[in-house]
Amino acid sequence: MQGIIRSSVYLPYRRLDTKEISGFFGAGGARTARTVASHDEDTTTMGVEAARPLLRDGIVIDNLSFTTPTPAYGDKNNASTLHAALRLDASVGAWDTGNSLRSSMGQLLSGIRQPTTTLLVSSDMRDGLPTSTDESNGGDGAAALILGMGTDEHPVIAEFVGSASLTDEFLDRWRNPGERRSRVWEERFGETRYLALGKSVFAAALENAGVIFEQVDRLIVTGLHARAVKAVGNKLSNGKDILRDELTGQTGQIGGAHPLIALSAAIEEGLAPGSIIVLIHLADGADAIVLKTTDAAIRVDAESSVATQLAAGAPVSYGKFLSWRDMVNVEPPRRPEPARVSSSAAWRSEDWKFGFVGSKDPGDGTIYLPPARVSRDSGDVDSMEPVAMADRVGTIVTFTIDRMAYSPSPPTVFAIVDFEGGGRFPVELTDVDAQRIAIGDQVVMTFRRLFTADGIHDYFWKARPVRLIDET
């Protein structure tokens, strides 16, 4: 059986109340809220965070495919960074597989047909100039799917039963490399094209899957053309209560990652076994995939479920949002900017820097963060064992707020963290409101971009509070 073995979504912690936009500019801000990647996040780090929960039980991956319309690097393969942070074996191929709004759907349709096990990650950060529709309707986030044949231990949870793709060259939305804003053609033209394509692709996919309309339990339509998405959804659902999109209103439209995010959210709903899910994505053509849920249990831990992440968000002011996105220049901290990371030094410490792997002394059990070669206890050299620390829960021993340290978004909140099972590390906190943290709070590690110097992104780990669902 081929299909989706598991799926996961990552939504950044911050939310912009888009009503602030019209308060500031006197225009813009159509919707109510959107997700906002923190100043220390990019599409690569969000992709890592989406994929991490899928790999905790040691499932073996054959290859990694990463798509994003907004890559952290050009030329350089961003998937290699994900590969390192996820600590995949060197023999696992990892490729950036496209940077259009259609790429993730293409990778889903090709990956799900392969006999190999593919980790597909898609991530996006939607930008638009201040007051634009894209600014207020966009969102940030990532999704990760494991595609393959499944095993007894890791069975398929949504079986691939059919698909269809229609490709059509027409200009609806475009962005030249390096530009911060997308441009769009007159809306009515795109709407007309997408409506026709949506109808055709839906019919073709159902036929390909051997499924009739009455069997469809869930229909998801995604795309950047909001009017077309709405029109296609209404037309195809034909009055039947199968159309769902609880997400977009809370997260914003997350571009290239959105189809996979919406699909993961639908899988997480826990539909009855045998339910038919159809996902249609409208981007320079139309793609449709038909999936059937199986009786395999869907395993989502509470921390990383979509529901928890939606509930856990906290506001970011519009001013901070604009500065995080480099839309306005605010006065930088009066500290020297950090020097660029050394490529060779970073390579040597790949396990530590990207994987947060320390070392453990087999003699006295001491955990060294960063890893050490010499035992403080026995003096033995190179007898240490690597110890993966990224998924260990930590406790704040003490913390401080540094108002002088260089940070892209000061002040820096910093804590001494003791990990479950041993080990201590002084680490920067993120996604945190300094007034609300306390000694004894629990934190988890999160992969972030510390700063960028000479165009080199400094990726490393920070700690963030465990997401609290029931906060009053």
- CA 353 to each of CA 12, 89, 97, 146, 245: distance values in angstroms, whole numbers, following the listed order: 22, 16, 25, 25, 38
Q: Could you say whether residue 388 binds other proteins (CB under 8 A)?
A: no
- When the beta carbons of 76 and 424 are compared against other proteins, the nearer one is 424
Pairwise CA distance, residues 195 & 4, whole Å: 28
From candidates 423, 431, 441, 447, binder to other proteins by CB under 8 A: 423
From candidates 273, 319, 370, 421, binder to other proteins by CB under 8 A: 370
Are 434 and 411 in contact by the 8 Å Cβ rule? The answer is: yes
Q: Could you say whether residue 261 binds other proteins (CB under 8 A)?
A: no
Q: Could you say whether residue 334 binds other proteins (CB under 8 A)?
A: yes
- When the beta carbons of 86 and 257 are compared against other proteins, the nearer one is 86
Number of C-beta neighbours around residue 313 at 10 A: 20
Q: What is the DSSP letter of 302?
A: G
Q: What is the DSSP letter of 73?
A: -
Q: Candidates 74-82, 183-191, 311-319, 338-346 — which segment interacts with other proteins by CB under 8 A?
A: 338-346
Q: Candidates 151-159, 248-256, 314-322, 457-465 — which segment interacts with other proteins by CB under 8 A?
A: 457-465
Q: Could you say whether residue 422 binds other proteins (CB under 8 A)?
A: yes
Q: Could you say whether residue 116 binds other proteins (CB under 8 A)?
A: no
Least separation in angstroms between residue 72's CB and other proteins is 15
- CA 371 to each of CA 161, 245, 291, 325, 443: distance values in angstroms, whole numbers, following the listed order: 47, 46, 45, 35, 21
- CA 284 to each of CA 126, 135, 165, 231, 253: distance values in angstroms, whole numbers, following the listed order: 18, 21, 11, 16, 17
Question: DSSP letters of 386-403?
Answer: EEE-TT--EEEEEEEEES
Q: Candidates 106-114, 122-130, 174-182, 367-375 — which segment interacts with other proteins by CB under 8 A?
A: 367-375
From candidates 154, 353, 448, 467, binder to other proteins by CB under 8 A: 353
Are 433 and 316 in contact by the 8 Å Cβ rule? The answer is: no
From candidates 170, 326, 400, 469, binder to other proteins by CB under 8 A: 400
Pairwise CA distance, residues 177 & 74, whole Å: 10
Q: Could you say whether residue 443 binds other proteins (CB under 8 A)?
A: no
Q: Could you say whether residue 345 binds other proteins (CB under 8 A)?
A: yes
Least separation in angstroms between residue 323's CB and other proteins is 19
From candidates 404, 420, 421, 468, binder to other proteins by CB under 8 A: 404
Buried b (16+ CB within 10 A) or exposed e, 388-401: ebbebebbbeebee
Pairwise CA distance, residues 37 & 408, whole Å: 14
Q: Could you say whether residue 447 binds other proteins (CB under 8 A)?
A: no
Q: Candidates 66-74, 83-91, 167-175, 329-337 — which segment interacts with other proteins by CB under 8 A?
A: 329-337
- CA 382 to each of CA 18, 120, 372, 388, 440: distance values in angstroms, whole numbers, following the listed order: 54, 36, 8, 17, 34
Phi, psi of 206, deg, nearest 5: -60, -40
- When the beta carbons of 180 and 335 are compared against other proteins, the nearer one is 335
- When the beta carbons of 32 and 452 are compared against other proteins, the nearer one is 452
Query: Three-state DSSP class for 407?
Result: coil
- When the beta carbons of 85 and 197 are compared against other proteins, the nearer one is 85
Q: Which two tokens stand for residue 415?
A: 């804590």
From candidates 403, 421, 433, 469, binder to other proteins by CB under 8 A: 403
Q: Candidates 51-59, 182-190, 228-236, 393-401 — which segment interacts with other proteins by CB under 8 A?
A: 393-401
Q: Could you say whether residue 450 binds other proteins (CB under 8 A)?
A: yes
Q: Could you say whether residue 402 binds other proteins (CB under 8 A)?
A: yes
The residues in 59-98 that bind other proteins, with binding defined as CB under 8 A, are none
Least separation in angstroms between residue 458's CB and other proteins is 4
Residue found under tokens 């934190």: 443
From candidates 13, 66, 194, 459, binder to other proteins by CB under 8 A: 459
Q: Could you say whether residue 438 binds other proteins (CB under 8 A)?
A: no
Are 432 and 399 in contact by the 8 Å Cβ rule? The answer is: no
- When the beta carbons of 113 and 335 are compared against other proteins, the nearer one is 335
Are 49 and 391 in contact by the 8 Å Cβ rule? The answer is: no
| Interaction site with other proteins (CB under 8 A) | 334-336, 338-339, 341-342, 345-346, 348-349, 352-353, 366-370, 376, 397-407, 412, 414, 416, 418, 422-426, 428, 450, 458-460
